[in-house]
Structure 1
């Protein structure tokens, strides 16, 4: 099969495999545009790892009941993170590129708009000296988020 016949197959809507191929190619192109954050050994301190995270700020009264703390007032601001599947959590999200974090934040904004409370979503780049844990979580969370998007 030459390139021209592949192009024709991809343009015909009855070939579902062609559509999947187009989507997969777009996903690869998007992944190539991502600039990976620095890993262990890239800093003067060899144990520092850089990661991107998506944070959420909201009022305590707007928290889901499973995340509420009985010692906080309703008007206090709470900082949380999102899990790789899009749920609010106190655990931190580790992503390996700022572009992936921004795309995930846009996806989360559409999810949060459907909910009854206001959430302020922000993306930041942070560093950690927990090299093994951060590197493992960064790889794991990034793969889950890429599949989600």
Structure 2
């Protein structure tokens, strides 16, 4: 029986997902924390509801996620004047955590791709990118 690319990707995703989750746990983070931090770095004006929609969770669940980030010192609420919603700001600690995640991801990349040539690495990244963000209109796996 021929191997299915889809099933191989699912299996690889599960294995790599566990490794990434383990790395994040060492920093006190979860994938949901990382997603929220990443969104807030690029779009600090996002509300809890905006973050929840992007993560595919309820606003209440996102409140718990942000509370966890606050406890880690990764985000803080900037309280505006009356009549304006609180704004979530990524702190220096949050930026430090993101830097550490990037370093961990690079290390995992290096381990995973160690036996590939530069050309094979480039081809793999291009193929994965095309799966996540296909050209033109249509569905995308990108968050």
Q: TM-score, normalised by structure 2?
A: 0.22
* Larger strand fraction of residues: 1
Greater RCO, 1 or 2 (C-alpha within 8 Å, sep 6+): 1
* Larger helix fraction of residues: 2
Q: TM-score, normalised by structure 1?
A: 0.21
Which has the higher Rg, Structure 1 or Structure 2?
A: 1
